[in-house]
C-alpha cells in the first residue's frame, strides 16, 4: 500500500450531491468534504428532469477545490449516482435532451404493458430485477410510446454516472453495477438483447458492461483547464450508489453460521445481503426481491423500500407552509412523542410521487381503516416506525428465501445518524443494529477506486479497511411484544408476501 493516496469520490444522491476526498493511509480512509450542493430536479412541460448540466458544473467546482488542497496526491476520480436513469448520445457525441427523473409519471402502467409481451416471470428469470416502474427498461418503453425521436437518433445509452464520466474524459463506458439496475442486463452480466428485441427496443445503444475498478482514462483538456493541472485519472467505482455503500459495510469476515444484513439508508432504503450468487424464483419475484450487481463477483440481493423519501417530502411540504425544521429537529420531536400506533406501509405506491406527502400519508391511513395523524411529530414517528416495520418484514423474507439466519444488521448511509430509526429497527427486527458509516457511499467509492489503483487487494480487504475507518454505534433490541402484532398487521395490509414494490 502506498504511503498516501487520495481519491475524489463524487456521490450524487436524489436530494444532494457531494465531492469528498478520501485519503488512504495505514489501512484507514479519512474522508474530507470538498464541496456539497443541492440536487433539485426541474419540471418542464414534457415532464420531470434532472438538471444534469448544473450537476456537472458543481462536480467541476468540487474537483477544483479538491485539486487545490490535495494536488498531486489526488490520483483518482470516480462518480456514483442512483440507478435506472440515463442520457441518450447521438452520433456526434451530443446529449439528446435532458435526462428524465425516475419519478416522472410517464412510466405509470408501463410494467403491465411490458408483461403482456414478455411475462413478468420471464423478465425476472432473465434479469433478476424486480419490476419497478422506474426501471430503465420501462422508461425506454414509455419513450417509445411517444413521438419522441431521440431514441431513433441515439447511438449509445449512458447511465447517469457513465454520462458524467464521459464528459470528464471523452470516453464512453457502461459500468456494470449501475447497468444491472436497468432491468435490461441479464444475471449473466450480458445485455438481454433477446428481451429487448421482443419489446421493440434498440440493442445497439447498450455498450458492453465494464467492471468496477476499471481505469477509464485521464481527464479531458477542458476539465483540466477548469479544475487545474490534475494528474488524477477516472477510476470507475461501483457507479451505482448502493453497490458502493455495500462495499463500505464494516462487516467481519464470513464465518460458518454467522451472517449479517445491511440497510443502505437514504432516500431509498435497500435491505439485503451481499452474496456470491443471485436468488431467483417465482416466490422471490412476487416478494419484490431484486438481484443487483456488486463488486468482486457479488450480488446485492435486496428489497427496495421507499426510505427516507417520505420524511424528505414531508419536510418539503411543511416548509412550503412556513414550518421549517431540520432533520435533526424532526427526529428530536418524534423521539419525544408517544407512538401513534399507526401502521404506515411505506411502500404504498401512493408515496412514489405525491404532490403533498403529509396528505398522502393521511389518505393512506384512512384507506386502511386507521385514524389519520396530523401533528408533525406524530407523522415523523409514524413514518420511522413504518420503516422499522418494513425492515422487519424484509428481514423475515430474505432469511426465508435465501435460507440464511441474520445475526446483526448494519445500517449505513444517512439513516445511520438517525438514532431513533436505528433503535426502532433493532426493536422491530430483534437484532443488534450496528450503525455507521454515514458517508458509506463516498467511502465505498474511494475503496473501489483504491482497488482499481492497486492500493487495496480485494473486496475482503476493502471491508477490513471500512471497519478500521468507522466508529460503530451499537443499538441492542429492547423487548416489546407489540412489534409482533404490528408486523402481522402490516403483512395483512400488504396481502403478504407480495410487497408494495411488487404491486407497482
What is the per-residue pLDDT across 331-347, written as a single tens digit (0 to 9) for each? Answer: 999 999 999 999 999 99
Instruction: Output the nine-digit C-alpha cell for 209.
Output: 458492461
Between CA 176 and CA 231 the distance in angstroms is: 25
Domain span at residue 347 reads 319-384
User: Final residue of a domain: which of 327, 355, 384?
Assistant: 384
User: Final residue of a domain: which of 384, 412, 435?
Assistant: 384
Q: 82, 135 in Cβ contact below 8 A? A: no
State the virtual CA torsion across 410, 341, 362, 15 in degrees, nearest 10.
Answer: -20
Residue of 363, 387, 395 whose CA lies nearest to 309? 387
**HSE value, Cβ hemisphere, 13 Å, CA-based, for 332:** 5
- Return the CA Rg of the chain: 22
Instruction: Output the nine-digit C-alpha cell for 473.
Output: 454505534
Count of structural domains within the chain: 2
Residues 234 and 338 both lie in one domain: no
Q: Tell me the three-class secondary structure of 272-300, residue by residue.
A: EEEECCCCCCHHHHHCCEEEEECCCCCEE
Q: What is the pLDDT of residue 256?
A: 58
User: Final residue of a domain: which of 339, 356, 384?
Assistant: 384
Q: What is the pLDDT of residue 63?
A: 97
Between CA 300 and CA 303 the distance in angstroms is: 10
Helix axes 376-402 and 309-320, enclosed angle (nearest 10): 160
Whichever domain contains 232, its CATH number is 3.30.420.40
Residues 223 and 327 both lie in one domain: no
Between CA 84 and CA 138 the distance in angstroms is: 10
- Residues pairing with 235 in the sheet: 215
- The catalytic site residues sit at 241
* Residue 268 φ/ψ, nearest 5 degrees: -105, 155
Q: Establish if 183 belongs to a structural domain.
A: yes
Residues 215 and 79 both lie in one domain: yes
Q: Establish if 251 belongs to a structural domain.
A: no
Residues of the chain with pLDDT under 50: 1-2, 496-504
pTM given for the model: 0.94
Residues 324 and 233 both lie in one domain: no
Between CA 353 and CA 185 the distance in angstroms is: 26
Q: What is the pLDDT of residue 501?
A: 38
Measured at the CA of 403, the angle between CA 401 and CA 404, to 5 degrees, comes to 115
Between CA 121 and CA 68 the distance in angstroms is: 52
What is the per-residue pLDDT across 133-180, written as a single tens digit (0 to 9) for each? Answer: 999 999 999 999 987 889 999 999 999 999 999 999 999 999 999 999
Cβ neighbour number for residue 204 with a 10 Å cutoff: 10
Residues 206 and 327 both lie in one domain: no
* Residue 490 φ/ψ, nearest 5 degrees: -65, -40
Q: What is the pLDDT of residue 493?
A: 86
Residues 231 and 112 both lie in one domain: yes
Between CA 369 and CA 443 the distance in angstroms is: 44
Amino acid at each position: 500500500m502506498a504511503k498516501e493516496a487520495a481519491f475524489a469520490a463524487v456521490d450524487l444522491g436524489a436530494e444532494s450531491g457531494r465531492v469528498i476526498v478520501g485519503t488512504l493511509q495505514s489501512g484507514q480512509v479519512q474522508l474530507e468534504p470538498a464541496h456539497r450542493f443541492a440536487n433539485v430536479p426541474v419540471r418542464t412541460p414534457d415532464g420531470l428532469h434532472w438538471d444534469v448540466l448544473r450537476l456537472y458544473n458543481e462536480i467541476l467546482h468540487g474537483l477544483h477545490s479538491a485539486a487545490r488542497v490535495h494536488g498531486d496526491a489526488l490520483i483518482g476520480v470516480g462518480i456514483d449516482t442512483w440507478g435506472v436513469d440515463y442520457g441518450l448520445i447521438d452520433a456526434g457525441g451530443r446529449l439528446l435532451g435532458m435526462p428524465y427523473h425516475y419519478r416522472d409519471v410517464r412510466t405509470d402502467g408501463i410494467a403491465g404493458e411490458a408483461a403482456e409481451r414478455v411475462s413478468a416471470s420471464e423478465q425476472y428469470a432473465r434479469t433478476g430485477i424486480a419490476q419497478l416502474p422506474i426501471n430503465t427498461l420501462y422508461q425506454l418503453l414509455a419513450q417509445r410510446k411517444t413521438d419522441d425521436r431521440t431514441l431513433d437518433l441515439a447511438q449509445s445509452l449512458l447511465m447517469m454516472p457513465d454520462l458524467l464520466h464521459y464528459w470528464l474524459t471523452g470516453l464512453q463506458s457502461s459500468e456494470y453495477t449501475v447497468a444491472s439496475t436497468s432491468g435490461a442486463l441479464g444475471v449473466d452480466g450480458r445485455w438481454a438483447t433477446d428481451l429487448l428485441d421482443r419489446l421493440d427496443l434498440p440493442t445497439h445503444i447498450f455498450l458492453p458492461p465494464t467492471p468496477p475498478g476499471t481505469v477509464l482514462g485521464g481527464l479531458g483538456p477542458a476539465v483540466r483547464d477548469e479544475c487545474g493541472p490534475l494528474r488524477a485519472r477516472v477510476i470507475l467505482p461501483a457507479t451505482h450508489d448502493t453497490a458502493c455503500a455495500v462495499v463500505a459495510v464494516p462487516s467481519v469476515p464470513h464465518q460458518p453460521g454467522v451472517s449479517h444484513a445491511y440497510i443502505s439508508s437514504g432516500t431509498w432504503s435497500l435491505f439485503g445481503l451481499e452474496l456470491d450468487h443471485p436468488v431467483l424464483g417465482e416466490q422471490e419475484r412476487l416478494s419484490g426481491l431484486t438481484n443487483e450487481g456488486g463488486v468482486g463477483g457479488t450480488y446485492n440481493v435486496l428489497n427496495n423500500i421507499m426510505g427516507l423519501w417520505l420524511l424528505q417530502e414531508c419536510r418539503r411540504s411543511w416548509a412550503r407552509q412556513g414550518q421549517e425544521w431540520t432533520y435533526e429537529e424532526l427526529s428530536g420531536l418524534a423521539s419525544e412523542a408517544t407512538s401513534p400506533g399507526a401502521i404506515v406501509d411505506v411502500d404504498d405506491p401512493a408515496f412514489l410521487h405525491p404532490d403533498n406527502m403529509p396528505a398522502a400519508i393521511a389518505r393512506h391511513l384512512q384507506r386502511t381503516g386507521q385514524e389519520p395523524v396530523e401533528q408533525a411529530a406524530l407523522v415523523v414517528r409514524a413514518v420511522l416506525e413504518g420503516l422499522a416495520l418494513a425492515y422487519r418484514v424484509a428481514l423475515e423474507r430474505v432469511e426465508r428465501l435465501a435460507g440464511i439466519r441474520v445475526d446483526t444488521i448494519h445500517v449505513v448511509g444517512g439513516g445511520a445518524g438517525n438514532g431513533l430509526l436505528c433503535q426502532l429497527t433493532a426493536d422491530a427486527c430483534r437484532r443488534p443494529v450496528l450503525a455507521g458509516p454515514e458517508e458509506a457511499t463516498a467511502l465505498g467509492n474511494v475503496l473501489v477506486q483504491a482497488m482499481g489503483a492497486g492500493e487495496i487487494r480485494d473486496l475482503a480487504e476493502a471491508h477490513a479497511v471500512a471497519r478500521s475507518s468507522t466508529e460503530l454505534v451499537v443499538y441492542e433490541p429492547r423487548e416489546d411484544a407489540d412489534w409482533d402484532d404490528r408486523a402481522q398487521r402490516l403483512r395483512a395490509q400488504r396481502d403478504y408476501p407480495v410487497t408494495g414494490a411488487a404491486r407497482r
